[in-house]
Homo-oligomer: A and B are copies of this chain.
Amino acid sequence: MTTDPHVPHFQEELDQLKTRLLTMGGLAEDRVRIAVLALVEGDHAAVERVLTGDEAINQLHIEIDDRCVKLLALHQPMAVDLRAIVSAVKINSDLERVGDLAVNIAEAASRYFTHPPVKPLIDIPRMALIAQEMLHDALDAYVRRDVSTASGVLDRDDELDALKTLVFKELLGYMQRDKATVAASLDLILISRHLERIGDHATNIAEDVIFMVSARDVRHKLEE
Name A residues whose Cβ lies closer than 8 Å to a Cβ of B. Answer: 58-59, 61-62, 65-66, 68-69, 72-73, 76, 78-79, 82-83, 86, 89-90, 93, 172, 175-177, 179, 182-183, 186, 189-190, 193, 204, 211, 217, 219-220, 223
Contact = CB atoms under 8 A, between A and B. Distances in A.
Given A172-B182, A172-B183, 19 more contacts: A58-B219, A58-B220, A58-B223, A65-B86, A66-B217, A68-B86, A72-B72, A72-B82, A72-B86, A73-B78, A73-B82, A89-B89, A93-B204, A176-B182, A176-B183, A179-B179, A182-B182, A186-B186, A186-B189
Most buried by B among A61, A82, A175: A175
Contacts of A219: 58, 61-62
B217 A65 contact: yes
Contacts of A217: 62, 65-66
Most buried by B among A66, A193, A220: A220
A217 B177 CA distance: 50
A190 B171 CA distance: 14
A182 B189 CA distance: 13
| This chain: copies in complex | 2
Contacts of A93: 90, 93, 204
Contacts of A65: 86, 211, 217
A69 B82 CA distance: 8
Contacts of A186: 172, 175, 186, 189
Contacts of A58: 219-220, 223
Contacts of A79: 73
B69 A86 contact: yes
A215 to B, nearest CB: 9
Contacts of A68: 86
